[in-house]
Each structure stands twice: as C-alpha cells, then as structure tokens.
Amino acid sequence: MEKFQLHILGCGSAKPTTRHFPSAQALTLSGRLYLIDCGEGAQLQMQRAHLKYTAVDHIFISHLHGDHCFGLIGFISTLALHGRTQDLHVYSPDGLEQMMKEQLAFFVNGMAFEVVFHAVPTDRPTLVMDDGHLRVTTIPLCHRVPTCGYLFEEVPALPHIRRDMIDYLGIPHYAIRGIKEGNGWTTEDGRTFTQAQLTTPAAPPRSYAYVSDTAYHPAIAEQLSGVHLLYHEATFAEADSSRATVTCHSTARQAAQIAKAAQAQRLIIGHFSSRYDDENILLQEAREVFPQTELASELRVFEL
C-alpha cells in the first residue's frame, strides 16, 4: 500500500501566537506532495518537516483570508529560485489570480514556469483535480467569504494479479492488463475464469477531508460519509459558542458532531483561537461526542 500521510504545517487561526503557524497542511501520497492552504511560514514548515517542497504541483486554497494564503507568494518565489520549469496549479475561490498576477510579475519576474490559477466553485461539490492518483472535490462551506474544503480520494487501484493462477493456466503476458481492468480468461480447452478468480482486490481507496473555516454546517456530512480522516476547524470551545456563531466558525463539539454524522473513522481538530493556552479543553469537548478525535499540532504527522 502506498504511503499516504498528512503533515500539519500550521493549525493556528488569524491572530498569530508563538504556539502556532497559520493554516497549512501537506498531503503526501508516495512521493507526490499536495499543499493545502498556505499561511505565512508554510514553506519554512515544509523544510522543517523535511518535505521535498519542490515536488508540489497542486496547491488547494480554501478561501481568501490572509491566514490561509499569505505564504503563497513567498513559496512561489522560492520555487522560482530553485529553477522550476513545471507548471504549478493553484485552486481557490475566485479572486486569487487577480490578487497575485501583479505581485508575481513584479517579484518573480522571468520565472520559467507558469502558475495556473483555477477558480473553484464553492456552492456545490465539484471535482477539480484528478491526476490519476488522487481525486479532489470541493466541499461547500459556510464562512464570511466564499470558502470550500477539499475531499481527497485515492483513485482506486487495479486489483493484484494472482501469479499462481497466471502460471497454472499459462496466461500470456499481453493479457494481464486486460484482466486487471476487468476481463476474464478462457483457456484453450474452454474453461472460463472471472477476474475475481484471477486477482486479489487492491487495498480499498483511502480518503481525507479538509474542512477549513466554516460555521456549523451539517449539510456536508453526507458528502463526507465514511471518510477515513477528517480535519475540521474547531476555533472555539463551547463557552465561546456565541463568538463562533458571530464569526462563522465552529466549536470543537460541532466539529465532532460533523465527524459523527459523517461516520468518519478519525477526526483532527485545528484552527485554534489564540485565546486558548491549553487546547485540551477543545479536545475534551470533541471527544465527548466523537472519541476518535486528535488535536492538530505543528509538524504532527497522521497516517492514512
């Protein structure tokens, strides 16, 4: 099974503290690296996590608040310094391209690659990327500006050929790809074998959902049904739930309610308000509803 990991690069909220970096995560699937949000310092955190950040081809921005995207210009500049030539794809709600075009022209002039901006819809789940390994779909969220999360689903792998059957039946090499893709096989003496008899199933595809800034929004649970790993913002504790309502954020308990309703396997909470010196209050409140909850923290790695 290919290595599929989530690296938390930053899990603070807008007001900076020395405990957290602003939002940024890296998702790695056997060497490929996908960047999710890019707050100030994301590139430094990638270095600290020993991630090969020059391998990033796709960046997913949830919304255009500074704590989710101010690290982009610095990161792109650094890629240019490294002599990158390959296109870089940046997905975000509409507006980012206009905001960055002039900056890129000024600060990263003469760069040998293109930054391709993709404005993604935030009002309905939309497949925005499929590179043959991962499929990425937007998750419509409810915040003060157009915002979406992203659902990352492994592209199902083809089943494994049963070498014993192939050898026993003398199936030629040229037929194997077809069997992996669903064909059966008929021997010269007329015996037929189904794909299921000739293969063992591949590992089931894994999924990760990134739910960025949002008011409590139970409508997303259906789209996230059965997700393996869910990150959900949990800016506030219950005692501050009125603040959550006003600012269109969630409490830790609400994050856990989403995880429970979606029947997620595991929940990570983050995007902590700077007011909590000890975030265990958030963890406790979430675990009362959804025990398989963990706290995000900088450079923590979660295996999928």
Active site residues: 67
**Among 61, 59, 77, which residue's Cα sits nearest to residue 69?**
61
Q: How many CB atoms within 10 Å of residue 289?
A: 18
**Among 118, 73, 116, 67, which residue's Cα sits nearest to residue 94?**
118
Kindly state whether residue 280 participates in binding a second copy, applying the rule CB under 8 A.
no
Distances (CA, A) of 218 to 50, 103, 140, 188, 264: 36, 38, 11, 57, 13
Kindly state whether residue 279 participates in binding a second copy, applying the rule CB under 8 A.
no
Instruction: CB nearer to a second copy: give 40 or 153.
Output: 40
Which residue from 6, 33, 108, 215 is in contact with a second copy, where contact means CB under 8 A?
108
Instruction: CB nearer to a second copy: give 20 or 206.
Output: 20
CB of 83 to a second copy, least distance (A): 11
Q: Is 23 exposed, middle or buried (0-12, 13-18, 19+ CB in 10 A)?
A: buried
**Among 271, 262, 193, which residue's Cα sits nearest to residue 232?**
271
- List all residues 6 or more positions away from 248 whose beta carbon is below 8 Å from its beta carbon: 142, 143, 144, 213, 214, 215
Distances (CA, A) of 299 to 8, 51, 94, 150, 188: 5, 11, 30, 20, 58
Which residue from 5, 16, 165, 292 is in contact with a second copy, where contact means CB under 8 A?
16
Which residue from 2, 32, 57, 78 is in contact with a second copy, where contact means CB under 8 A?
78
Find the binding residues for a second copy in span 47-76 (CB under 8 A). 47-48, 64-67, 70-71, 73-74
Kindly state whether residue 233 participates in binding a second copy, applying the rule CB under 8 A.
no
Number of chain residues interacting with a second copy (CB under 8 A): 31
CB of 95 to a second copy, least distance (A): 7
Instruction: CB nearer to a second copy: give 43 or 250.
Output: 43
CB of 106 to a second copy, least distance (A): 6
Which residue from 86, 103, 194, 284 is in contact with a second copy, where contact means CB under 8 A?
103
| 3-state secondary structure at position 276 | coil
Kindly state whether residue 77 participates in binding a second copy, applying the rule CB under 8 A.
yes
Kindly state whether residue 297 participates in binding a second copy, applying the rule CB under 8 A.
no
Which residue from 5, 14, 113, 223 is in contact with a second copy, where contact means CB under 8 A?
14
Find the binding residues for a second copy in span 132-161 (CB under 8 A). none
Identify the residue whose tokens are 């690659």: 113
CB of 145 to a second copy, least distance (A): 10
Kindly state whether residue 283 participates in binding a second copy, applying the rule CB under 8 A.
no
Per 3-state DSSP, what percentage of the chain is helix, strand, and coil (rounded to 5)?
Answer: 30, 30, 40
What is the DSSP secondary-structure string of 88-101?
EEEEESTTHHHHHH
Interface positions with a second copy (CB under 8 A):
14-18, 21, 40-41, 43-44, 47-48, 64-67, 70-71, 73-74, 77-78, 81-82, 95, 99, 102-103, 106-108
